Amino acid sequence: MNKLIVLNRESLELMQDSICRDLDIRKELLPYNEEVDLIAKLREIVAYLLNYNMERLLWILYKLDVDEDRLKLALAQSPDDPESIITQLIIQREWQKIETRQKYKPGYPSAEEEKW
């Protein structure tokens, strides 16, 4: 669950684009200079939504298709830090979506192209 996905700059930009589109937020609100920055800022957004707009957070998780069973299990195992758990699940799901797009969509930057 706590496995960190290591991303290069292009992957971070793809991740930022995907998250901003899915959460309906401006790119300026979610930096991608470093993976840690992106995760920290996303965690702040999740924490805000948990405290002030739980309905929107639930809608976002539904829209992203975050696995509800994985979410419940993760929250039950570590209830003290729900922001980090939800953030990690969002990052993992967004990465899955990016990998799927790379695999099936013509013209989408592939992981192999990003390595060079």
Mean pLDDT check: name the lowest of 2-11, 13-22, 46-55: 2-11
pLDDT for the residue 37: 81
Beta-carbon contacts of residue 35 (< 8 Å; ≥ 6 apart)? 4, 5, 6, 7, 12
**Reported confidence tier of residue 50, pLDDT bands at 50, 70, 90:** very high
Residue 21 has pLDDT above 80, yes or no: yes
Beta-carbon contacts of residue 5 (< 8 Å; ≥ 6 apart)? 35, 91, 92, 95
Residue 101 has pLDDT above 60, yes or no: yes
Position with higher pLDDT, 39 vs 106:
39
